Amino acid sequence: MTDLFSPVALGANTLANRMVMAPMTRNRCLDTVPTDLTAEYYQQRAGAGLIITEGAQISEQGIGYPATPGIHTPEQIAGWKKVTTAVHDVGGHIYCQLWHCGRISHPDYHGGAKPVAPSAVQPAGQAFTYEGLKDFVEPRALETAEIDAIVEQYRHAAACAMKAGFDGVELHAANGYLLDQFLRDGVNQRNDIYGGSIENRTRLLREVAEAVADEIGANKVGVRISPVNIFNDMHDSEPQALFNAVARMLSGVGVAYLHVVEVSLLGEPDDAVDMTQIRERFSGLYIANGGYDQARGHAAIAQGNADLVAYGTPYLANPDLPERFKQGAALNETDQTTFYGGDAHGYTDYPALTG
């Protein structure tokens, strides 16, 4: 029977199991460059069939949080090369998540300039800055003529990821960041070819996916979406129709996988969107994410509801999560005070079963 521990082909790679380490921001790259400690952290978790890194901004314009890594400069490529080498040295596979925060940012990151977004719609809430929490500002709506440059930023970042030794990339089109902002009509109020109809609102994601696939090969590209997550003040009037269209469009582009955050902001299912409809419209691998434990993960794969299952928080405290699942071992408890920022404590010092 196919389950979490069954191998699976992803592009040209064969993953040892179907457990994915989900992307999780850790805020430990003070100058946007991954460090030796970053490499140790990911190497510890290379027992996952696939690691998806924390979001790496595709340009300085894409920054929205303190101490997050980038993937657009030679220094960042060199830093990530340490990470990919460390993961590959122990037989793991790793994709880089490409990230542009859009309006979920602050002028402090941009020399006083406003963050960019599809429309000048200010999000509720506050931005995390080096000086603490500050109210979000009204962003600047991107001009139509500027959008080609955004697409090229994604293409360049994907090329940089290949130079850094990654096995592929994931486009972050979830959780209220730039690509998600263009998708949802609660934020996208444009009246050009990137706004209005579902076809227009999915245009930027299609152009980015096509550009990145052209650059590195569609079989090395995945996309993450979050159809019912209202995080970062997001909503849409017709989420089922929108994300069904997203799945069809990405299937046409031929990307390798669709990674779906299936739960709401509170971590609960939301019947506003039937995830089965999304899965049925996508021809590649489907990665399910959202509160799965071992039993639900096995069941999702055995029943054909997912090809892989992504785990987030459990991987923070359990670097050897697949082995713990196999042995039925107890899981370490997570220390939420060390999730964001800091040093090795709460990052690389969680014990493994053999430790």
Tell me the CATH number at 41.
3.20.20.70
**Is 352 domain-assigned?**
no
Query: What's the chain's Rg over C-alpha atoms?
Result: 19
Number of domains in the chain: 1
Tell me how far CA of residue 249 lies from CA of 48, 109, 192, 211, 308, in angstroms. 29, 33, 20, 14, 21
Catalytic site includes residue 177: yes
| Contacts of residue 70, Cβ cutoff 8 Å, sequence gap at least 6 | 32, 33, 56, 57, 58, 59, 60, 62, 63, 76
Per-residue pLDDT of the chain (355 residues; tens, 9 = 90+): 899 999 999 999 999 999 999 999 999 999 999 999 999 999 999 999 999 999 999 999 999 999 999 999 999 999 999 999 999 999 999 999 999 999 999 999 999 999 999 999 999 999 999 999 999 999 999 999 999 999 999 999 999 999 999 999 999 999 999 999 999 999 999 999 999 999 999 999 999 999 999 999 999 999 999 999 999 999 999 999 999 999 999 999 999 999 999 998 778 888 899 999 999 999 999 999 999 999 999 999 999 999 999 999 999 999 999 999 999 999 999 999 999 999 999 999 999 997 5
201 residue type, one letter: R
* pLDDT score of 211: 98
Tell me how far CA of residue 130 lies from CA of 100, 109, 151, 325, in angstroms. 18, 9, 28, 38
Which one, of 37, 36, 83, lies nearest residue 56 by Cα? Answer: 83
Active-site choice (42, 95, 177, 350)? 177
**Is 306 domain-assigned?**
yes
* pLDDT score of 251: 98
Which one, of 95, 102, 110, lies nearest residue 54 by Cα? Answer: 95
* pLDDT score of 67: 98
**Is 3 domain-assigned?**
no
* pLDDT score of 223: 99
**Is 343 domain-assigned?**
no
Measured in degrees and rounded to the nearest 5, phi and psi for residue 133 equal: -70, 135
| Contacts of residue 154, Cβ cutoff 8 Å, sequence gap at least 6 | 58, 98, 100, 171, 208, 211, 212
Structural domain that includes position 182: 8-338
* pLDDT score of 96: 99
Cβ-in-10-Å burial (0-12, 13-18, 19+) of 330 comes to exposed
* pLDDT score of 157: 99
Measured in degrees and rounded to the nearest 5, phi and psi for residue 45 equal: -105, 15
Determine the Cα–Cα distance for residues 87 and 94; give it in Å rounded to an integer. 7
Residue 144 CB neighbours (<10 A): 12
Q: What is the pTM of this model?
A: 0.98
**Is 355 domain-assigned?**
no
